[in-house]
Every structure is written in C-alpha cells, then in structure tokens.
Amino acid sequence: MSIGDKLRRIRGEGGSGRKEQPPQTREEEGRSKDERIDDLRRRIREILERRPSGPAAARKSGIPRGALPGEEVRTRRGSVLVNSSRILRDDFHGKRRICETAMPMDRIGVLAGRSVFSPFRCEDALFLDTETTGLSGGTGTFPFLVGLGWFEGGNFVVNQIFARDFDEEAALLTCLSDVAREKKFLVTFNGRAFDLNLLATRYILNRIDNPLSGLPHLDLLFPSRRLLGHRLENSRLATLEKMVLGVRRDYDVPSSEIPQRYFDWLRSGNAGLMTDVLEHNRMDVATMAVLVGHLCDLFGSADGFAAAADGSDLLALARMCIDRGEKLTAERLLADLIAAGPGPLGTDAGTELSLLYKRSGRWAEAAGIWETMAGRDPGCLFALVELAKWHEHKTKNFKTAEALVAKALDNLPGDDIDWREALLYRLTRLKRKMGATKTE
Amino acid sequence: MERLTLEEIISRFRSDRRFMENVRAFREIPAAAGRFSPLPAWLHPRLRAVLEARGFQNLYEHQAEALELVRRGRDVVLVTPTASGKTLCYNIPVLQRALEVPDSRALYLFPTKALAQDQLKEFGEMARGLGGEIKSHTYDGDTPDDARQAIRRQANVVITNPDMLHAGILPHHTKWQKLFSSLDYVVIDELHTYRGVFGSHLANVIRRLRRIARFYGKDPLFICCSATVANPGEHAARLVGKEFALIDRSGAPRAAKTFIFYNPPVVNRELGIRQSALAPARKIALQLMDNGIQTILFAGSRLTVEVLTKYLKDGAEKREPGAEKVVAGYRGGYLPELRRRIERDLREKNILGVVGTNALELGIDIGELDACIMVGYPGSIAGTWQQSGRAGRRADRSLALLIARSSPMDQFITENPEYFFAGSPEHCRINPDNLLILVSHIKCAAFELPFEEGESFGEEKLEEFLAYLEEKGILHSANGRWHWTAEHYPANEIGLRSIDAENVVVVDVTEKGGRRVIAEVDWDSAFTTVHEHAIYMVESEQYHVDRLDLDRREAHVRKVDVDYYTDAMTYTDIRVLDGFETKQDGNAVVEHGEVKVSRKVVGYKKIKFYTAENVGYGEVSLPEREMHTTSYWFTLPLAMLDTLPYTRAEMIDGLCGLAYAVHHIAAMILMADIRDMDRCVADRSGRWFVHFGPGGRKPASAGSDSPENFDPTVFIYDAYPGGIGFSDLLFRIHRDILAAAFRLISSCPCAAGCPGCVGPVLDVGYRAKKAALSVIEIALGSPPGKSPAPPALETGGENGRTESVRRKGRK
C-alpha cells in the first residue's frame, strides 16, 4: 500500500460520509468557498489565456523556454534566463521622464538616514525587487525572479533574472552576484524587511557568499511612508505610483497571485503565466527609479521649490530634515512654505521654523515669525504663548507678556483646563515679577 | 502551646489509631551519605574557581561520571532524583567548552517557559562568575522582538522550548547560522515529559534539528535528564536517534524521609464514594503549620488550588486573626514579582503553607520545605517522587504524604504501595514514525531545506512521502531535489501537542449578524461536543449549537440559559485489520496489531444539573468517523465464560468492568492521559460490539441484539490515528496488567463497583465487579493470588504456554 493510501486510511478519509466527492487534498478541504471560487476563476482565466505551449515534459525539452522573453545566460553555477530591457532617457514612466531622476547623494543620505552615500554617483545604484513563492518569509520561500535596474548613460536598464525551475537558483544567485559586484549601493522598496532577508537566506542555503550584505541600502518604503504616506490610504508601491507618480498599468497581476502562478508555471510550462509576472516586476523596478527621483525633487533647489509638490509633503520632509540634523534644508523648506501664504500649512511651518530658531538661540527671528503668526491670526495660542515667554525671559517686558497671556486666556476654549491652569500660573508669576520690579 | 517537631508529629501519626486505619503505607526512607569525586583535572581554572566559590569542592559521583562521558564525546542520559545536581552535569560541559572555544553554542530545551526562566537564572549566575562574556538567553514567545537579533548572534546558550524550536527557530535557521554552525551541545531536560503524541512530535523536531545542524557541518552532543522511568536509555535513543550512555546511580546524599499513603475512608459503600481528599489535606496541613512546619501542598487543578488555599487561609485566620498571610497559592499564571515575593517569604519563614498545581512540580525555586502533601496521585510515579522531593532539607527528616482520590489510579497506587516503592514500571512510549506526524514534519523539513535524493528521514521510505507530497502539489522535484512549493508556512499549522492541525471553531452568533469566535475544539471532539443541539459550555456560559458545518469547520452557537447539559451517545465498532503478533496466555489469546475503529455519534442525552436526571434525548446525524490505529487485545473462549454463574448480560458487564480497569492501569503504566487510549469490548471479527459513551457509560446493547456464540475480546487502542506506540508494550506485559487489574478490583472496598475499580455501579451493573474478577481468573488460567508482590513489569510477559508468532507483513 502506498504512503498516500495509508495516510488516507489512517485519517479515515473516504469513510467520512463524503465518499461521493472526488478525493480532495487536505489543503483544498481547508479552504473557504470564496477561495475555491477564486481558484476556479483563476483556472478558467488560465485556460483562456493559455498560449500554445507544451506541458512540463515539453518544457524540459526546451520548447516553451523560447516563449519567455529573454536569453539564457551561463554562469559558474549553471544557466539562467535574463530578460533585459531599457527605458530610454526621454521615455515617460508615469508623469516623469526617466532621465529626470537625478540622485544627489546628500539627499539620498537624508532619505536613507545615513551619510555613507556621499562618494557615490547615480550610476552606482542597483535597484532591486524580487518575486517569490510566498510572502511569509522563512527558509522555504524562493525568490524565483530578481528584477534589477540601474542608470546607464541617462537611460534606465532593467535586467530580470528568472529561475525557470528550482535547480536554476544557484545560477540566479551567481548572476545577481556578478551584477552586484559592479554596483555600490542598493535601492529597494521594503527590501530591508523582505527581499534582502530572503536573498541572504538563499545565499546561505546555496553556500554562496552574499554580495549584498555589505552594500549601503536605501529602502524607499520608510521615506515614502514618512513623506507621502500621510495623505494616502497606505504606503504600498502600487498606491504610491498611482496616486503620486501617475503610473498606470493596463493589466497587472495582483501580488497575492504570483506564488501560485509560479507553481502553475512549474507544472504546466505555460509561459503566459510568467510574462505577466515579468511585466509586473519590470514596472515595479521602473517605479522605484522614478520614485527616488520624485523624493529627491521634494528637496527643491536652493532658489525655490518644485511647484508640483504637495505642500504637506514638504512639511513632512522639513520635519525629517530636522530629525536628521539637516537644519539648513529644513529652514529653506519651511521658509518657502511660510512665504506661500497663510493657512494651516503656513502655521505648521511657522511653528516648526520658529522652534528651530528658538533651539538655535535665534530669538529675534523666532519672535519675528510669532509676530507674523499672531498678526495673521490674533487668536493663535502658540504664537501668543511663545511671545509671552520671549518677553518674560528675554526682553523682560513683563507688561507686554502679561497682556499676551491675558489675550491668550481670552481666546482659550472654555474646556481646556490644562492650558488654562498653565496660563494662569504664568500670569500669577508675571504679576509677582512686576510687583518685585515696582518695589525695587 | 508547645510546638512539636516533625519527628514528634510523625510519631503521633503512628500512634493515632484512627489515622492509621486509613494509612496504606508508612515507609521510612533512610538517609544516605553522598558519594563524592574530585573536580576533574581538565576543568578550566576559571570554572574551577567559580565552582569552588559556590561551594563545590567536590562533585557527586554521578556528576563526575557524566562529565567524563561527555568529555569523551558520548551522548548521555542522566536519571537521578530531584535535587541531585543534574543541571551541573550539562552546565559544566557547556561552560568549559565556551571557555575553550568562545564561539561555541548550546541549545537547551525545556518543556515550559517557567522552567526555561529558572535555568536562565542558574546558568546566568555561573556565567557571571566567569566574567560575563558567556551569554545565555531564553528565546520564546515572551522574547521581545528587538532582543531577538542580538540573541541569535550572541547568545552562547539559547534556552527555549520544543514549540519555539519547531515554529520559530528551525524554519528561520539561516538567521541562526551562528548558532547552528557552532552548535556543540543540545540539552534536553525533563526527558520523560516527551512521551505519547508530544514526544513523537519532538522526536521529529530533533530529526529536523540534526538535519539542519548537519547542513552547517555540526553533529551536536546530546545531554538529557529524565525522572526515573523504566526505559530512560531506550526512550532517549528513540527520541534523539542516537545511542546514549545511561547514568542512573545517584551519588547525592539523601536525608531521611517518611512517606505515607493515606486513603480517605469510604463514606458510601454502595457507590464506593470516599471522603474527599481535601478534608484530610486541610486538617493535616493546618496541624503541621501550627507547629511551624513549612508545608507544600500539590493539588490537581487550579480550582482545587484555589479552594485549598481558601480553606487553609480560613483555618489559619480562625486560630489567629491576621494569620491568613502565612498561606499562599502558587500556580501557573502568577507574575514573576509575585513568585519572587512568595519565594522570599518562604525562605524567611513568613509563609508556612504554599499550595501549587501539579504543573509546577518541576523547578520552582522555593528552596526545600519540611513537608509535602499531595492531594491526589500526581499521575505518575516519576511525578510523585518529583513532588515529594520538594520537601527534604539536607540534614533533617522530611515528610511526604499522598492522599488518594477515588480514581482508579489513585486507588491502585495507595492500595498497592509496593508498585510505587519497588522501582519504576512506567514506560515512556513514542512513535516518531506515526505516518500523520511524520508527514507533517517531512513538510516542515522540506520547507527548511530541500530534500536531496538518497536522504532519509525517519524509518519509513522517504521517497514515497516525497512522491506523495509532490502529487499533492506541496513539493516539486527538480534535478534530484525536492522543493517546498506552497505559499503557507507549514510549522504554523502543526502543533506539537496534538496530532492534527485541524480544528473546528466555535462561533457565537447570538448578536444578529455578529460573529465572535469563542473557542476551538479539535476535529475529533467536535463530534461529541458541538454536534447540533448540544449545549456547549465556555467559562460557565452556556451556548446552544445551532449548526455544525463540517465543511467550513465551524459550529454556530447561541448563548442560552438552560438547566441541563448534553452528553453525546456514541457507538464504537472495531475491526482487526492486521495482527502483528499473537500469543496464547492462560486461556486468552493475546494480540496486537492494526485495527479500524468506526465511531458514530448517534444521539445525545439532556442531563439536568445537580440531579443528573435524564430529561430528554435527541438524535444526531453526523457521518461515521473511521480511524486506523494500533491496538492490543485479548480474546476469551466463550465456552469457558459460560461455565461461570452469570447471565450473558452480566458477563458482558464484567468484561466492560474489566476493560475499564485495564484501560486505567495501561494509562498509568504509560504515563498517558486516560483519553490517549480508548477501550472497546467486541467480537474479534467485529460482528458485535458494546456501546460506550464518553464517560464509560454503556447503553447495554450491541451491534446485533446480544452476543451470539462469539468469543468476546477486550480492545485497548491508541486514541490517535496511526497509533502512538502503546500497543506492543501492552501486549508484552499483558499478564502483569491483568494481575494488576485483579488486585485493583479485589482490594477495592466498594460493594459492587465504583469509579475506582470497574466503573460506577450504575454504568456497569451490580454484578460486574464479581464477574470481572472471575473473567480475569479464566484469562490467566489460574487465580492470580492476593499477594501484593510487585509485578515485574519490565520483563515482558512471555509467560505460560506462550507462543509468539511474528507476522510482520501487512496487507
């Protein structure tokens, strides 16, 4: 009796009153009805999409390999398929031309939160995105497709390394090593948590030195989430490219379907299943290239800021610059936002900038901002209180300070007890100080 | 009031006639001097200094022996009593190695997180003495995320549990490269806890661990420790897949101990009901505490712990207002600070009485107390010794008192004390090649590392599994290697403490449109607990089951408030598929082999709370479930049974009573939960069988109306698909089991059957007890005698006119 029969017998499958049904795998049994319907849809679609290509046996003989784009590349550890394409300098990807991506390394450093990038050039960047057999991580997840991109003479090259079967993994990794050796740093989207971890695992499993482990790395997820995520429903790459970069995809494989597509490809050899995945991956790599350009452009130039940018993104960038000690950039961005006129954005920018000045001991400039803010909005609590502090501690003009606190109290919403207490405390102290000056 | 010493109290017990009436054993275990060996010469001078500073000028003989064997590269299993310094036997080799090779790594496995914490503390103290560069850390569900990376890279000793190793470490072994590529030692403490399903799973986790270690070029040495069981060496070998050197003679000194077995008096002879074990426990504990004797009490459940704690607090308070503070509960779930405080108060004698659950029998750092009271048999001889080891200071006499409850195990042990005192008959059994368990771990292993052609995993043919999994689309072969090709993460779906990952979720739909998952029940018990119209109870709330959807694995329930609960009625039909071995023993034909068990829930009873009145029936239509498993069984000649002065029905009652007793004794010997096995009385060919309900109830009818002229057979089978390895042992010790059953039943003072022998009289009938004894006499071919001599259970009963026929081939 085969192991399969024994297992079925032990479990009592077949005696469970479901004899009329064809034998199902346990995996199938465990799935919900919706999933099974989705499965059916997928299978129907596959049948409709099926291009003339042979089954797995035929694939092994080499016939359907030709149906996939790309060419076979020989490495020290076997052959692998590499699909090479390029986006010419003047081609658009979304709203941007590919050649508009400049990567000033000081800005890359701010985005990455590390300053190691300064000796590099734009051409040293290796953009990387993988497609895998699962999203949960762990050693059993296989990155069957590694999409790589880099700038070359203003054009953007995308090379996709594709393992047609598991036995091409060593070749895939070797091929990646060869490319990585020519490059100086990595750009990914969520690579820190996912792609690079996974590749590190696979390098260990194949006993190949990991060429990526020492490379500086800009993971675009973090700056994107910080600079753009505040106005989007989420910070996924697909959302960013649609809402911010204006990239449209005609048809796209949902990421969640990709593992199953690969398994189906292994069994059926149907190249059509994979061409969509290759295109999906190529788009992702290209999107990263314009995304990094977009993020760098938010910094603007020394004499003005990019008109296309959303003001709230610039405020987020200014805050990030403050956190990373880039005071000058932050000052310039905030000043521009204030100059753009009144409004909540201007107020926030004023707040940030005045506090920046205050921390640097530039009181007069800070006070100037507060005066402007109080001028624009006479009830602006923040400006009134900061001015009061300034007059109390710096100019020692207690009377003005007292008037400001009184005004702030007038403008305070009735239910804000904490603020009220703090203001009353300050008022008492001011009165005491004024009394002391008088008696002197 | 003058305080008595423990010695004086013990001698008062001895002269107290009413007390002694209930005493079944009163043993003095004499003190023994320690046997010592010098610290080994090869010990690193710094480690020697730390040991000497901690008061270890010498080692016990068994410790020195263990160190030498490990030094020589042997895998060692150590079987010595509580507080005999087992931890040094692995901590010293690990520390020595870390001093010699600073990058060296070790992995410690403990069955619970609490034990891991205790070990961390102990190891940490020694490592700090060495300067602190040797690092240890626990790694489990409580480990903060931000600490994990550092632990993976830096900890010389990672202390974890089997579940975490299975689901958290092995599937991510590349992150643990440093650990695996320098893994010199694996320590498995409390080896005896890994038996049955859990042990069978762990054996496979160890296979995976060794496979991953091989990938990184390591074959670590295993150091295991176990409580006293009959087969420690065999068990270690089966669990780890290596041959072990066994050390089972302790060189540790032992203080004198008085061990008392106390069986509370029978209060209702008709029903065989005894006084609750709580009453004498309370009385004796208060008496001890009154005299300033620190006492630990072990109770079986959290509830009993709470009840007993309250009793003792009330008692203490009554004697002296404010004195309730001298009593503390101590059970799982207490926070570390509270634990530390109780420990401190015990050391400072602010607390005199502490009540804990069995689950905490191991490794609580509360020092050594004067007296230990076990309220109910802890379930195993090994566990009883461990609990009693909680009492016993170095020099003074200590007291251990076991108070029996009404269960068959408690009754058997207290009524047959030799069984306890004369060496351990308990066996740890596992079946790592149970197909269901094995296939689960082959999946996990394939996820961790592709299988290569020619590789093996377990005793079954790996290629067949790989082909099977490839056919199911879970694996994919390319160029002689099998790769994982499913999106999910297999270890998450496989729990080590049960056999199958499939559960039925219980969904509360009381709120309109609401869906709240309130519980999960395993697939098997779903049929009896959440069938339609069942009353399902969670945390004292009652829910009515509206619908059981087996396809979606969901039971929809609604909150209700009714005065009854439901009890499912099932029938079990059993057929022999294949006999592996057979022998004639006395008048019985004894066999073990593979059986098909068909179970069907046919209906349910509504039973009123408190009165237990039957207030209604209902039918249930659920598919029959079939299970193939392994079983031990024996068949008796009907012609001989017919010579007995019983009607057919009474004889069947007797057989059912016998099956009840055999079932409990088998579970005891295997340290198994009673639910890990099941029993059935049937015709060997499956043409008739007796119904059993879950509680051993027997709606007395059969497949056909009455047993016709068939020889009845008693089956004891593994309650897990594929079997868990119990049956062949039971086959070997058949005669001893029947003899033990005879003693259990014949020494039970009840009139006609009780839960302590053949089952409650209302279930088995009024003549079952007598009939059962007669049946045993026929089975054994001679009266078993009433001498309480301990059965030599290890010998494996090739007794009498035995002819063993091996038939290995399966259908």
**Position A55 in a domain:** no
> Is B173 in Cβ contact with A167 (below 8 Å)?
no
Q: Residue A293 is encoded by which pair of tokens? A: 């350009």
Q: Residue B152 is encoded by which pair of tokens? A: 């993976």
Q: Is the pLDDT of residue B709 over 70?
A: no
B740 burial (CB, 10 Å; 0-12 / 13-18 / 19+) is buried
> Is A137 in Cβ contact with B172 (below 8 Å)?
yes
d(CA B250, CA B88) in angstroms, rounded, equals 13
**Position A225 in a domain:** yes
**A332 and A247 together in one domain:** no
DSSP string of B755-771, one letter each residue: TTTT--HHHH-TTHHHH
Residues in CB range of B552: below 8 A, 6 or more apart: A32, A33
**Position A358 in a domain:** yes
> Is B489 in Cβ contact with A266 (below 8 Å)?
no
Instruction: Supply φ then ψ for residue B273, to 5 degrees.
Output: -90, 130
> Could you read off the pLDDT of B594-615 as tens digits, one per residue?
998 888 888 888 877 766 667 8
* Best residue of A1, A5, A6 to probe chain B, by most B CBs closer than 10 Å: A6
Q: Is the pLDDT of residue B708 over 70?
A: no
Which residues on chain B are in Cβ contact (under 8 Å) with A205? 174, 449
> Is B465 in Cβ contact with A3 (below 8 Å)?
yes
Residue of A3, A27, A139 lying closest to B174 (CB–CB):
A139
* A33 part of contact set with chain B, CB < 8 Å: yes
The closest of A211, A177, A138, A129 to B172, measured between CA atoms, is A138
> Is A7 in Cβ contact with B460 (below 8 Å)?
no
d(CA B109, CA B94) in angstroms, rounded, equals 14
A240 burial (CB, 10 Å; 0-12 / 13-18 / 19+) is buried
Which residues on chain A are in Cβ contact (under 8 Å) with B435? 3, 6-7, 10
* B465 part of contact set with chain A, CB < 8 Å: yes
**Position A345 in a domain:** yes
Single-letter amino acid, residue A2: S
In 3-state terms, what secondary structure has residue B542? Answer: strand
Length of chain A: 440
**Count of alpha carbons within 13 Å of A391, Cβ hemisphere only?**
23
d(CA A120, CA A102) in angstroms, rounded, equals 12
* A204 part of contact set with chain B, CB < 8 Å: yes
> Is B627 in Cβ contact with A133 (below 8 Å)?
no
* Best residue of B485, B505, B548, B811 to probe chain A, by most A CBs closer than 10 Å: B485
In 3-state terms, what secondary structure has residue B106? Answer: strand
**A46 and A113 together in one domain:** no
- B164 Cα to chain A: minimum distance (Å): 14
Domain boundary among A248, A264, A297: A297
> Is A267 in Cβ contact with B447 (below 8 Å)?
no
**Position A57 in a domain:** no
Mean pLDDT of chain B: 85
d(CA A186, CA A125) in angstroms, rounded, equals 6
| pTM, entire model | 0.82
Strands B503-508 and B554-560: parallel
Strand partners, A4: none
Chain centroid, CA A152 distance in Å: 24
CATH number at residue A148: 3.30.420.10
Q: Which domain holds residue A310?
A: 300-364
pLDDT 10s per residue in chain A (440 long)?
777 787 777 766 544 433 333 434 444 444 555 665 565 555 544 544 433 333 343 444 444 444 788 999 999 999 999 999 999 999 999 988 988 888 999 999 999 999 899 999 999 999 999 999 988 778 999 999 999 999 999 899 999 999 999 999 999 999 999 999 999 999 999 999 999 999 999 999 999 999 999 999 999 999 999 999 988 999 999 999 999 999 999 889 998 899 999 999 998 899 999 999 999 999 999 999 999 999 998 888 544 445 456 888 999 999 999 999 999 999 999 988 888 877 888 889 999 999 999 999 999 999 999 988 888 888 888 999 999 999 988 888 888 998 999 888 888 877 778 888 888 898 899 888 888 776 54
Q: What number of C-beta contacts closer than 8 Å exist between A and B?
A: 123
Q: Is the pLDDT of residue B276 over 70?
A: yes
Q: Are B241 and B210 in contact (CB under 8 A)?
A: yes
* B479 part of contact set with chain A, CB < 8 Å: yes
**Position A270 in a domain:** yes
d(CA B434, CA B723) in angstroms, rounded, equals 6
* Sequence-distant contacts of A108-114: CB under 8 A, at least 24 apart: A108/A218, A108/A292, A108/A296, A110/A299, A110/A320, A110/A321, A110/A324, A110/A326, A110/A329, A111/A218, A111/A220, A111/A223, A111/A292, A111/A295, A111/A296, A112/A216, A112/A217, A112/A218, A112/A219, A112/A223, A113/A222, A113/A324, A114/A216
**Position A100 in a domain:** yes
**A158 and A229 together in one domain:** yes
Looking at residue B540, what is its pLDDT?
60
Residue B498: which pLDDT band, with cuts at 50, 70 and 90?
low
> Is A12 in Cβ contact with B623 (below 8 Å)?
no
The closest of B590, B597, B601 to B574, measured between CA atoms, is B597
Single-letter amino acid, residue B203: A
* A209 part of contact set with chain B, CB < 8 Å: no
CA nearest B450 in A: which residue? A140
> Could you read off the pLDDT of B39-74 as tens digits, one per residue?
999 999 999 999 999 999 999 999 999 999 999 999
Q: Residue B587 is encoded by which pair of tokens? A: 């008048």
Residue of B177, B436, B472 lying closest to A10 (CB–CB):
B436
Looking at residue A50, what is its pLDDT?
39
**A227 and A285 together in one domain:** yes
**A247 and A115 together in one domain:** yes
* A30 part of contact set with chain B, CB < 8 Å: yes
**A173 and A195 together in one domain:** yes
* Best residue of B172, B174, B482 to probe chain A, by most A CBs closer than 10 Å: B174
Note which residues in 130-149 of chain A have CB less than 8 A from chain B: 133-140, 142
Which residues on chain B are in Cβ contact (under 8 Å) with A4? 468, 471
- B463 Cα to chain A: minimum distance (Å): 10
Domain count, chain A: 4
Which residues on chain A are in Cβ contact (under 8 Å) with B598? 15
> Could you read off the pLDDT of B342-394 as tens digits, one per residue?
878 888 888 899 998 765 544 555 667 899 999 999 888 888 888 888 787 66
Looking at residue B411, what is its pLDDT?
87
Helix (H), strand (E) counts: chain A: 18, 9
d(CA B309, CA B295) in angstroms, rounded, equals 12
* B439 part of contact set with chain A, CB < 8 Å: yes
**A353 and A423 together in one domain:** no
Longest dimension (CA), chain B: 86
Residue of B173, B478, B624 lying closest to A165 (CB–CB):
B478
Q: How many CB atoms lie within 10 A of CB B301?
A: 13
> Is B435 in Cβ contact with A7 (below 8 Å)?
yes
Which residues on chain B are in Cβ contact (under 8 Å) with A133? 484-485, 487
d(CA A139, CA A202) in angstroms, rounded, equals 7
> Is A166 in Cβ contact with B478 (below 8 Å)?
yes
* A205 part of contact set with chain B, CB < 8 Å: yes
ipTM summary value: 0.80
* Best residue of A1, A6, A10 to probe chain B, by most B CBs closer than 10 Å: A10
Q: Residue B615 is encoded by which pair of tokens? A: 């207030």
**A284 and A307 together in one domain:** no
**A41 and A181 together in one domain:** no
Q: Are A404 and A365 in contact (CB under 8 A)?
A: no
Note which residues in 312-371 of chain B have CB less than 8 A from chain A: none
Which residues on chain B are in Cβ contact (under 8 Å) with A26? 502
> Could you read off the pLDDT of B119-166 as tens digits, one per residue?
898 899 999 999 889 999 999 888 888 899 999 999 999 999 999 999
Looking at residue B600, what is its pLDDT?
85
d(CA B441, CA B202) in angstroms, rounded, equals 10
Note which residues in 716-755 of chain B have CB less than 8 A from chain A: 721-722
d(CA B409, CA B748) in angstroms, rounded, equals 12
Residue of B449, B467, B627 lying closest to A205 (CB–CB):
B449
Note which residues in 1-20 of chain A have CB less than 8 A from chain B: 1-4, 6-7, 9-12, 14-18
The closest of B207, B259, B204, B248 to B224, measured between CA atoms, is B248
A47 burial (CB, 10 Å; 0-12 / 13-18 / 19+) is exposed
Domain boundary among A297, A326, A343: A297
**A348 and A399 together in one domain:** no
* A37 part of contact set with chain B, CB < 8 Å: no
**A184 and A291 together in one domain:** yes
Q: Is the pLDDT of residue B401 over 80?
A: yes
* Best residue of A13, A166, A210 to probe chain B, by most B CBs closer than 10 Å: A166
Domain boundary among A322, A338, A364: A364
Note which residues in 65-124 of chain B have CB less than 8 A from chain A: none
> Is A201 in Cβ contact with B174 (below 8 Å)?
yes
Q: Where are the alpha helices (DSSP H) in A360-416?
A: 363-376, 381-390, 398-411
**Position A58 in a domain:** no
**A387 and A433 together in one domain:** yes
Q: What whole-number percentage of chain B has pLDDT above 90?
A: 46
Least confident of B336-340, B445-449, B655-659, B790-794: B790-794
